[in-house]
Amino acid sequence: MHLSRFPRVRLAHLPTPLEPAPRLSEALGVDIWIKRDDCTGLAGGGNKTRKLEFLLGDAMAQDADTLVTQGAVQSNHVRQTAAAAASCGLACEIILEERTGSTAADYVGNGNVLLDRLFGAGIRTVPGGTDMVAELETTADQVRARGGRPYVIPGGGSNAIGALGYVDCAREIVVQADDLDLEIDRIVTATGSAGTHAGLVAGLAVMGADIPVLGIGVRAPKDRQEANVRKLAHETCALLGHAGRMKDELVVADCDYVGEGYGLIDDGVIEALKLAARTDGLVLDPVYSAKAMKGLIALAGQGRFEGETVVFLHTGGAQGLFGYHSELDGKL
- d(CA 318, CA 12) in angstroms, rounded, equals 17
Return the DSSP state at 3: G
Strands (E), the chain: 18-20, 31-36, 66-72, 91-98, 122-127, 150-152, 186-191, 213-217, 251-254, 309-314
Return the DSSP state at 6: S
- For residue 242, give the 3-state DSSP assignment: coil
| Among 120, 115, 122, 164, CA closest to 142 | 122
Q: In what order do the strands lie in the sheet with 31-36?
A: 18-20, 31-36, 309-314, 186-191, 213-217, 251-254
Within a 10 A sphere around the Cβ of 123, how many other Cβ atoms? 15
102 is catalytic: no
The one catalytic residue in 25, 75, 102, 158 is 75
DSSP 142-207: HHHHTT--EEE--GGG-SHHHHHHHHHHHHHHHHHHHHTT----EEEEEESSSHHHHHHHHHHHHH
Beta bridge partners of 66: 91, 150
Active-site residue numbers? 75
